[in-house]
Amino acid sequence: MNIRGIQAIYIFEMSRAFRTIAQSIASPVLSTILYFIVFGSAIGSRINDIDGVNYSSFLVPGLVMLTILNQSVSNSSFGIYFPKFSGTIYEILSAPISPFEITCGYVFAAASKSIIVGLIILITSSFFVEINILHPLWMLFLLILISVTFSLFGFIIGIWADDFQRIQLIPSFIITPLTFLGGSFYSINMLPEFWQKVSYFNPIVYLVSAFRWSFYGNSDVSIFISIFATLLFLGFCIFLIAFIFKTGYRIKT
């Protein structure tokens, strides 16, 4: 394996993020603080505890997950789209580095940026509300797994997109609405029975539920089902990327 090639892509992508630190890190953190002010303070004071957890504390895993999903997809999709847009993708493809190593470089960088933002949000949240992480190792594992999975998904979007509008199409019209309807701000047990059943078709429910379980030990869905669903989606993304590089779909043409 060409570790130096992976490292070169990884360092380049990370340095680009730190050059635009206001957009890459400060912006999502400030957005999360606004969510705390609006939902936690203004609305949370009028809502009873959920499963024995204060509503403001209950929000934390959902807000972290909301940010992680959007950041993972955006970082990865923009990372691979810019070389396509500028034409430098051909230099990468002609270098002595395999498609697997190219993918690792971009995906690991995108996931790293998402994990950093997620951890900063957790630290920032502790100044506003009391946070109790019952399963810190599981929390870290889920944070990494979900970040890598959706960075792979963002990598696919970046290859598929042929303009800047298409890059934002799926995150804006699919991922963000599904995240808001996936229990980020509420427990699906609070919904009427019919809408509870409908919610189980939303894949984001399983991610938010598993991540919240690592904090408070409460979940709307079994932790094992959530992890299995995430790994299944991870495998599907890997299969699609392998197909893309094999056929040259929107890379070599």
What tens digit of pLDDT does each residue of 39-53 get?
666 666 667 777 778
8 Å CB contact between 149 and 234:
yes
Mean pLDDT of the chain, nearest integer: 86
Question: What pTM does this model have?
Answer: 0.90
| Side chain identity, residue 186 | Y
Q: 124 falls in which pLDDT band (50, 70, 90)?
A: confident
Location of structure tokens 């799926």: 170
Please answer whether residues 9 and 79 qualify as being in contact, where contact means their C-beta atoms are separated by less than 8 angstroms. no
| Percent of the chain topping pLDDT 90 | 36
Model pLDDT, residue 253: 59
In this prediction, residues 80-100 reach a mean pLDDT of 86
Closest Cα to residue 109, out of 160, 75, 142?
75
Domain boundaries, the chain: 3-247
The stretch 17-39 carries a mean pLDDT of 72
Give residue for tokens 């669903």. 229
* CA separation for the pair 60, 40 (Å, rounded): 9
Tell me: pLDDT of 22 over 70. no
Q: Is the pLDDT of residue 213 over 70?
A: yes
Mean pLDDT of all residues in 181-185: 85
Letter string b/e over residues 133-146, b meaning 16 or more CB atoms within 10 A of that residue's CB: eeeeebbeebbebb
Q: Which of 34, 189, 12, 1 is nearest to 121 (CA)?
A: 34
- Percent of the chain past pLDDT 70, that is, above it, reads 93
